[in-house]
Amino acid sequence: MIKMYSSEISDLDSMLRIVKEMVEETVVEIMNSLMNEMNMYSSELLDIAYSAKDFILRGGKRIRPLLVLLGYWSREWGLQNPNIKYLVSSVEFLHNYLLIHDDIMDRDVVRRGGPTIHVLFRNKCIERSMVDCDHYGVSQAITIGDYLEALAVNMFSKLELPGDILKKLLQTYTRGLRLVAYGQYLDVLTSQLPLRSISEKHVVTVHILKTASYTVELPLHIGAIASGGDENLLRDLSAYAIPAGLAFQLVDDVLGLFGDEKVTGKPADSDVKEKKKTLLIVKAYELASNGDREFLEEIYDRRGSRDISLSDVEKVRKIVVESGSLDYVKKRIAEEAGKARKAIESSSSINVKAKNILTELLDLIISREK
């Protein structure tokens, strides 16, 4: 099957299609295989499998699994491993674990066009006429997130890798989790700090920890290490990953404020109501008039989320545009994309086919609408 995969892949679209199929088949296989274990203890536990499987299979870009396979094939294109699907799918279990917990912290109610897991279980609680259903929903969502993280780690055991490679793989994986935890800690802290105290450097540090290292560098490294890649390969992949990941997050921030809700699957006002102090907002505050700065302080420092109206959100958007912040961030996106492109072109460790698809992916990152 893997040989068929490598021969079928000629561009990013074909690779994404195959990775999506691989991940979805593996998620169904793993969840179905665990149902017997759950049923041994209680049929109530089957809700873990049903809800987690539904949540993962609702959609998602599958960029992280794609990057795992690209990392695995970056040294030798088409390198074979009959269990590669488990390595590729590991980061999807990891990603959804973090999404479930992130939705709780952000108080999001919609994810990929459906209810977030804590809302899903709150609703189940209400349907069964139980009590304290908000707390119940959050508690069960935390549990399901933890369960998915356990599945992510377990995927490594299915690869039959040499001990030294498995050790390095686990070290890299756990370091990646530490970095994303640092980023999340700083991100939550930032939400409580006054807008005037947040600098561009602070925002970029969080983006590097939460997105560049986790979304791009970690999957590429997981794949490359499993393939037996050396330090030169990892260094070249990092030189691409960090600026590409930063560009990815900055595009995400633009979509969070200006994107079409029907396309992104997220409420169009959520970033403002969650008081996300993105580079768009921090730079707008720096560049705006005194009156507009006062309004941004009111929205991001003083007013409650429930008191932020759609007209307030529209005014935030207007300030971001008129202050020049949107243009500044778009320029920063182009600069980071340029760094990533240069890193790929100058690499002597990454093979040509992997280079071509990483370049295509970079183009997708900066032009995407969701």
Structure tokens, 321? 């545009």
- For residue 212, pLDDT beyond 70: yes
Q: What is the 3-state secondary structure (H, E, C) of 62-86?
A: CHHHHHHHHHHHCCCCCCCCCCHHH
Q: What is the 3-state secondary structure (H, E, C) of the chain?
A: CHHHHHHHCCCHHHHHHHHHHHHHHHHHHHHHHHHHHHHHHCHHHHHHHHHHHHHHHCCCCCHHHHHHHHHHHCCCCCCCCCCHHHHHHHHHHHHHHHHHHHHHHHCCCEECCEECHHHHHHHHHHHCCCCCHHHHHHHHHHHHHHHHHHHHHHHHHHCCCCHHHHHHHHHHHHHHHHHHHHHHHHHHHHHHCCHHHCCHHHHHHHHHHHHHHHHHHHHHHHHHHHCCCCHHHHHHHHHHHHHHHHHHHHHHHHHHHHCCHHHHCCCCCHHHHCCCCCHHHHHHHHHCCHHHHHHHHHHHHHCCHHHCCHHHHHHHHHHHHHCCHHHHHHHHHHHHHHHHHHHHHHCCCCCHHHHHHHHHHHHHHHHCCC
Q: Could you read off the pLDDT of 320-361 as tens digits, one per residue? A: 999 999 999 999 999 999 999 999 999 999 999 999 999 999
Structure tokens, 253? 């921030």
Q: Kindly report which listed range (7-11, 118-122, 285-289) carries the lowest average pLDDT score.
A: 7-11
Cα→Cα distances 181→101, 147, 187, 210, Å: 11, 17, 10, 8
Domain parsing of the chain, residue ranges:
2-367
What pLDDT is attached to residue 5? 60
Q: Could you read off the pLDDT of 192-205 as tens digits, one per residue? A: 899 999 999 999 99
Cβ-contact 172, 221 below 8 angstroms = yes
- For residue 2, pLDDT beyond 70: no
- For residue 233, pLDDT beyond 60: yes
- For residue 74, pLDDT beyond 90: yes
- For residue 17, pLDDT beyond 60: yes
What pLDDT is attached to residue 35? 96
- For residue 267, pLDDT beyond 90: no
CA quadruple 88, 90, 91, 97: dihedral positive or negative? positive
Q: Which CATH architecture has domain 2-367?
A: Orthogonal Bundle (1.10)
CA distance 344 to 350: 8
- For residue 278, pLDDT beyond 60: yes
Q: What is the mean pLDDT of residues 57-85?
A: 92
Q: What is the phi/psi pair of residue 111, to 5°?
A: -145, 125
pLDDT band at 105 (very low <50, low <70, confident <90, very high): very high
CA distance 61 to 332: 23
What pLDDT is attached to residue 269? 83
Q: Which of 131, 63, 56, 133 is nearest to 100 (CA)?
A: 56
- Average pLDDT of every residue of the chain: 93
Q: Could you read off the pLDDT of 145-175 as tens digits, one per residue? A: 999 999 999 999 998 899 999 999 999 999 9
Cβ-contact 136, 121 below 8 angstroms = yes
- For residue 291, pLDDT beyond 80: yes
What pLDDT is attached to residue 312? 95
What pLDDT is attached to residue 263? 76
Q: Kindly report which listed range (6-20, 30-44, 93-107) carries the lowest average pLDDT score.
A: 6-20
- For residue 7, pLDDT beyond 90: no
Highest mean pLDDT among 13-17, 136-140, 304-308: 136-140
What pLDDT is attached to residue 315? 97
